[in-house]
Amino acid sequence: MYIVIKNKNIIDKITKPIYKAFYFTLKGGEELKIIDFIKDIFGGKDEVRLIEKISEESTKLAIEEFAINVAINLIAGCISKCEFKTYLDNKEVKEDEYYMWNIEPNKNQNSSEFIQEFIYKLLYRNEVLIVEVNDQLIIADSFYQNEYALIENVFENVTRKDFTFNSKFKMSEVLYFKNSNKDIRALVSNLNNGYRDLLDSAIGKYKRSGGRKGIAELDTIAKGDEEQKRRVDELFEKKFKKYFESENAVLSIPKGVKYTEQNGEGSKKSTSDMVDVQNLIKEIFDRVGQGFKIPPALMRGDIADVDKVTNNFLTFGIDPIVDLINEEINRKRYGKAILKGSRLEIDTTCIKHIDIFSVAEKIDKLISTGMYSIDGLLEKVGEVPLGTEWSEKHWITKNYSDINQIDLKGGEDNEQKNMGI
């Protein structure tokens, strides 16, 4: 039998406490929240086992969660460095729209904070909603979307922090971004399930290889000697545990018990076991990187062939997300004015660090061919434009001429004719 609940307020009341309690537990914070929540509903005395189970699962998820956060933060950090350029009739302008995206989207966030939160929610939750209220862009923490086939979808219960908007928003009134049809985190998690078991096995093997081992010999306890039995139980249940967990300790052993420490090869940590653990963690990072189209070398921080790796990342990891953002902003905020050259473009050339001395020859070539003005290139390399008349002009060397002016028989003969020779 199934119980169907259609009232969203009831659903929120049920699910939000569960989500919040479990969320804090996974983050390694307030473990008691979920315990108190379960006890309030079911009661019982198994809270200790529940904490142990959750802690075990949290450990398994920690590496995967860390890898996902590394990937998302890498992408978010890159896009937050981009300049959101605005154009009016194909001419670059810096007015209110530019200020909103590049300086201050709302009163509580600067552009970097806003873009990083925006990208993080887009990739982590697979969707994000932005509403404009009082000339401010607000990222929703939660919302409910009513989907329709032939008319606009409607968003309601849009919440930011502790504030919930009373009004409903039509699709045309908001910026709604959906990364893909499938939750990338769920796909990565399913892929990593097998690695979790292998990782548990490798970690267990490593712990066992470094564990302290010994042999305890007990004399026969006389029947009815409850005091001696109590001492032996206390030795195994409390004293040995404390002894093994301490860095330096002395163990008092009751009469009738002989303990011999085993200091053979089994008590030494194996380097190969540690390598197995490291390789599995590296494998998880590689798989997460593939899920977010980040080259494995970039996920691990390797510096070999960093230019090629970075270009690959920009092409396959950053550009598709930037295109998604561009398209949604332009269709909602510019509409058909795009056809006349009014638009917003995200400049991804700001992501890569440019050493002007290593690209000096290329800079000279870009200026001499008339492709960029001096001020244009200064902006590209992160320098302040001069703002003068001559620095804003486009220059070209005399080596470049109209193809129709070139004598097919040779440039030298043509030059002599022009000079009257």
- DSSP track, 123-135: HHSSEEEEEEETT
Query: Per-residue pLDDT averaged across 4-19, rounded?
Result: 47
Same domain, 377 and 413: yes
Tally of domains in the chain: 3
Let me know: does 33 contact 18? Beta carbons within 8 Å: no
Is the pLDDT at 58 greater than 50, yes or no? yes
Determine the Cα–Cα distance for residues 130 and 132; give it in Å rounded to an integer. Answer: 7
**pLDDT given for residue 258 in this prediction:** 76
325 found inside a domain: yes
Is the pLDDT at 207 greater than 50, yes or no? yes
Determine the Cα–Cα distance for residues 79 and 120; give it in Å rounded to an integer. Answer: 11
**pLDDT given for residue 21 in this prediction:** 39
419 found inside a domain: yes
Same domain, 295 and 341: yes
94 found inside a domain: yes
Same domain, 335 and 196: yes
Same domain, 285 and 338: yes
Determine the Cα–Cα distance for residues 40 and 61; give it in Å rounded to an integer. Answer: 26
**pLDDT given for residue 404 in this prediction:** 64
Is the pLDDT at 143 greater than 80, yes or no? yes
Same domain, 284 and 380: no
pLDDT tens digits, 249-303: 677 777 777 777 766 544 455 555 556 667 777 877 888 888 899 998 888 777 7
Domain region containing 372 = 355-421
Query: Per-residue pLDDT averaged across 339-347, rounded?
Result: 93
Per DSSP, helices labelled H in 184-295 are 184-209, 226-234, 240-245, 271-291
Same domain, 344 and 290: yes
Same domain, 407 and 368: yes
Same domain, 294 and 390: no
375 found inside a domain: yes
**pLDDT given for residue 401 in this prediction:** 64
How many residues in total does the chain contain?
421
Is the pLDDT at 321 greater than 80, yes or no? yes
377 found inside a domain: yes
pLDDT tens digits, 60-91: 567 778 888 899 999 999 999 999 999 999 99
Same domain, 272 and 420: no
pLDDT tens digits, 104-130: 999 999 999 999 999 999 998 989 999
Query: Per-residue pLDDT averaged across 382-389, rounded?
Result: 81
Sign for the CA dihedral angle at 314, 319, 320, 324 comes to positive
Same domain, 419 and 372: yes
Same domain, 188 and 296: yes
306 found inside a domain: yes
**pLDDT given for residue 42 in this prediction:** 40
For a pLDDT cut of 90, what percent of the chain falls above it?
33
Picking from 353, 388, 403, the residue at the C-terminal end of a domain is 353
**pLDDT given for residue 402 in this prediction:** 63
167 found inside a domain: no
**pLDDT given for residue 388 in this prediction:** 86
Same domain, 278 and 413: no
Q: What is the pTM of this model?
A: 0.65
Picking from 353, 376, 391, the residue at the C-terminal end of a domain is 353
Determine the Cα–Cα distance for residues 116 and 188; give it in Å rounded to an integer. Answer: 21
Is the pLDDT at 311 greater than 70, yes or no? yes
291 found inside a domain: yes
Picking from 330, 353, 376, the residue at the C-terminal end of a domain is 353
